[in-house]
Structure 1
Amino acid sequence: MNWKLFIARRIYKDNEGGKEVSKPAIRIAMAGIAIGLAVMIISVAVVIGFKHQVRDKVIGLSSDILVTSMDEAQAYQTTPVAGGDSVMQVLRSLPSVSHVQRYASKPGMIMTADNFQGMLLKGIAQEYDMTFLQNHLLEGEIPAFTDSIASNKVLVSRTIADRLSLKVGDNLYTYYLENNIRARRLTVSGIYQTNFSAYDDLFLITDLYTVVRLNNWEKDQVGGLEIEVSDYALLEQVNDNIRGLFDEKSDRYGNMYYSRTVEEVYPQIFAWLDLLDVNVWVILILMVGVAGFTMISGLLIIILERTNMIGVLKALGADNTAVRKIFLSFSVLLIRKGMLWGNIVALSFCILQYYFKIVKLDPATYYVDSVPVELNIGVWLLLNICTLIVSVLMLVGPSYLVGRIHPAKSVRFE
């Protein structure tokens, strides 16, 4: 039997290893480990959840990769490119491409009896993936949008609906200015809300046929093609493949194709998300430092209070290494208990937040209405393992204090 571990367990079971003086210090040390680990787990879970939710929302509003014209006339109205069946078939045949869909846009204005609103009309066709819109639909229904017939129906955001006092079934008049003013009457078939202000403040969704006609484009011309990839990790690779096929090449109307990833389209958002990783590293370093130093103080107090025991062990023939292993084993037991409580607190918070959305956020600022959490099992295990290893390594140095305790002097202390 390992006698060093046996003694460490006896010290640990002796009212948590402490006498009257060391008991508070030991409990503070365990609390430091528990709080530090809980904060680390929660911080990582929140950052991972936040990054994934915001990224998925940005991708849902557009797609993983956009193929548009090189010559952009305006911020939201691009020169069209040919997006017929042959082009879509080539894109669909590329490895790791899971879906291809067309879109077109047209800036205009909504006018009601007592108000008006600038907007961007986005046209989509029958192949469009409606999952994102369906998940964010608040009222009404999504019509069967196509590229062959005008539906005269539109989806509006909750922001625009509230601003213009619109509800499902209402008619709204939209106006488009080119050489002359063109008007379209559309019926509100549904109201959505993404909490992404740049989208909710502007976009109306209708059929591709209507937008193509408003732009006076040919039937096979579109504003761009949105491409979804099967694995986000392969985003750059797929985009390079598309660029190899289309970039700097013209369609039959003489317009050049241009491929961009969602990270290139919205660089400011993804740069902001990358900065969150820096915050996580700062939190991890601070929490590991706090937990480690509280354990160091607790171990030093225990060693000083067990001076008599150390002297007796050395008098019986135990060397400094063996005594150090006793106190390091004892520290591992304390760290393990602190980590247990830290995991309980962190997992409880994550579960409650995931199901009940206890902590709310301002969606106008953070794009989500509550703090998102996503617990990655691999990251959770890594945090626990690294916390245990780093905490024990930080105690190796202070454990050398036992070498300065001499049996002849220590056994007289009681």
Structure 2
Amino acid sequence: YLRNNKKIESFYPFATKPAIISANGEVEGINFKGIDSAYDWRFIQKHLLSGKIIDFKDKSVNQIMISDFTAKRLKLKAGDSFIMHFVQNPPKRKKFKIVGIYNVGIENIDKTFVLGDIDIIRNVNNWDANQMGGIEVRVKDFAKLRQTADDVYANLELKLRSRSVFESTPEIFTWLSLLDVNTKVLLALMMIVGVINMVTALLIMILERTTMIGLLKAMGISDGSVMNIFLYNALYLVGLGLILGNILGLGLAYLQHSTHIFKLNQTNYYLSYVPMEVHALDVIALNVATIIICALVLILPSLLVSRISPLKAIRFK
């Protein structure tokens, strides 16, 4: 079923086992995650700080990848070796060599997991070569994850069960949903402030040019044509502001994506830095929506032009 499901990108076996690392006079409790050569390394490779990924063909040493958090806690680096004690009765110990150090940036992962060969867990647990703790499934479209998870669950055998990432780490997605609400409120407030500023600017422009409006009307130019002059001028300012705002915003986004200059408290926010991902369609949609909303709102103050009497405007001057 997994091979034939077009919504699924990849899947691979895994197993986990609690263990304790002993190195440099320090100890650290972790969760050993065993994987095989089918594992999708793209995410880990993007966050690899030093070393390389595991070579499953090389069985001469027990290779392992640990997080930067664990490496700093135990004063380890790529190429170092340490002893790991697997929690069971009786306990078993094995020597490992660090081949790579990564930093995912998510506290729950960096503090908890290390990556190694699933055959090590099979050996410790006295499993057969085809036994595993579970199958990890990755979907092509994250927006359809819930639907895909329901489909997988519906096609499982009765003795098996499935859990989506929403169920295994609900606290992260609850936090993200709160951020979504904050983002919408923030965008709405920014739009309201922007509209008020543009309306105020247009009214000031009209009042400052009352005499000019009177002269144009006296020359026979229609109210609609005079209104268009001020609308085009206001929209020019909106467009200029959008260009400058896009340059500044996208520039900051690129700087953050490249350098992670804006840090977060990992304990409170699950992440060590503010992640940035720019979607061209979102940027275009936001710019177009801003122009349309401002154009519609600016029509009302521009109607003030029709109420200006040419005779009174010229006399006022």
Q: Residues 353-364 of structure 1: matches in 2 within 5 Å?
A: 353-363=256-266
Task: Give the whole-Å Cα distance in 2 for the aligned partners of 1:206 and 1:235.
Answer: 27
- 1:150: how far off? 8.3
- 1:366: how far off? 4.4
- C-alpha change, 1:401 and 1:93, in structure 2 (3 Å) is closer
Q: Residues 268-307 of structure 1: matches in 2 within 5 Å?
A: 268-307=171-210
Provide, for residues 359-387 of structure 1, a one-character-per-residue CA deviation record: whole Å limited to 9, x for no partner. Answer: 44455554555443332222212222211
Provide, for residues 206-245 of structure 1, a one-character-per-residue CA deviation record: whole Å limited to 9, x for no partner. Answer: 2111212323434322111011223333323432332222
Partner of 2:15: 104
Letter in 2 for 1:131: R
What is the TM-score when the length of structure 1 is the normalising length?
0.68
- 1:113: how far off? 6.3
Higher relative CO (CA 8 A, sep ≥ 6), structure 1 or 2?
Answer: 1
Partner of 2:250: 347
Q: Residues 328-407 of structure 1: matches in 2 within 5 Å?
A: 328-363=231-266, 365-366=268-269, 368-407=271-310
Q: Is contact 1:195–1:364 with CA below 8 Å preserved after alignment?
A: no
Q: Is contact 2:107–2:271 with CA below 8 Å preserved after alignment?
A: no
SS where residue 374 of structure 1 aligns? coil
- C-alpha change, 1:112 and 1:381, in structure 2 (3 Å) is closer
Partner of 2:76: 166
Specify which of 226, 232, 238 is matched with residue 142 of structure 2.
232
- 1:151: how far off? 4.5
What is the TM-score when the length of structure 2 is the normalising length?
0.86
Structure 1 spans left out of the alignment, 5+ residues: 1-89, 251-255
Task: Give the whole-Å Cα distance in 1 for the aligned partners of 2:188 and 2:263.
Answer: 27
Letter in 1 for 2:52: E
* RMSD, aligned CA: 2.8
Partner of 1:220: 130
Q: Is contact 1:136–1:192 with CA below 8 Å preserved after alignment?
A: yes
Partner of 1:22: none
Task: Select between 329-338 and 365-374 the one with higher mean Cα deviation.
Answer: 365-374
- C-alpha change, 1:107 and 1:398, in structure 2 (3 Å) is same
Task: Give the whole-Å Cα distance in 1 for the aligned partners of 2:217 and 2:101.
Answer: 79
Task: Select between 361-370 and 178-187 the one with higher mean Cα deviation.
Answer: 361-370
Q: Is contact 1:92–1:98 with CA below 8 Å preserved after alignment?
A: no
Letter in 1 for 2:17: K
Provide, for residues 33-89 of structure 1, a one-character-per-residue CA deviation record: whole Å limited to 9, x for no partner. Answer: xxxxxxxxxxxxxxxxxxxxxxxxxxxxxxxxxxxxxxxxxxxxxxxxxxxxxxxxx
**2:88 is equivalent to residue 185 of structure 1:** no
Task: Give the whole-Å Cα distance in 1 for the aligned partners of 2:231 and 2:99.
Answer: 68
Q: Is contact 2:106–2:272 with CA below 8 Å preserved after alignment?
A: no
Partner of 2:32: 121
SS where residue 161 of structure 2 aligns? strand
* Percent of aligned positions that are identical: 38
Q: Is contact 1:324–1:399 with CA below 8 Å preserved after alignment?
A: yes
SS where residue 259 of structure 1 aligns? coil
- 1:144: how far off? 2.5
Q: Is contact 1:157–1:204 with CA below 8 Å preserved after alignment?
A: yes
Partner of 1:409: 312
Letter in 1 for 2:212: M
- C-alpha change, 1:220 and 1:301, in structure 2 (3 Å) is same
Partner of 1:48: none
Task: Give the whole-Å Cα distance in 2 for the aligned partners of 1:113 and 1:142.
Answer: 24
Task: Select between 101-110 and 397-406 the one with higher mean Cα deviation.
Answer: 397-406
Structure 2 spans left out of the alignment, 5+ residues: none
Task: Give the whole-Å Cα distance in 1 for the aligned partners of 2:275 and 2:86.
Answer: 40
Q: Is contact 1:175–1:182 with CA below 8 Å preserved after alignment?
A: yes
Letter in 2 for 1:116: V
Partner of 2:119: 209
Specify which of 139, 145, 152 is matched with residue 50 of structure 2.
139
Q: Is contact 2:108–2:270 with CA below 8 Å preserved after alignment?
A: no
- 1:149: how far off? 6.5
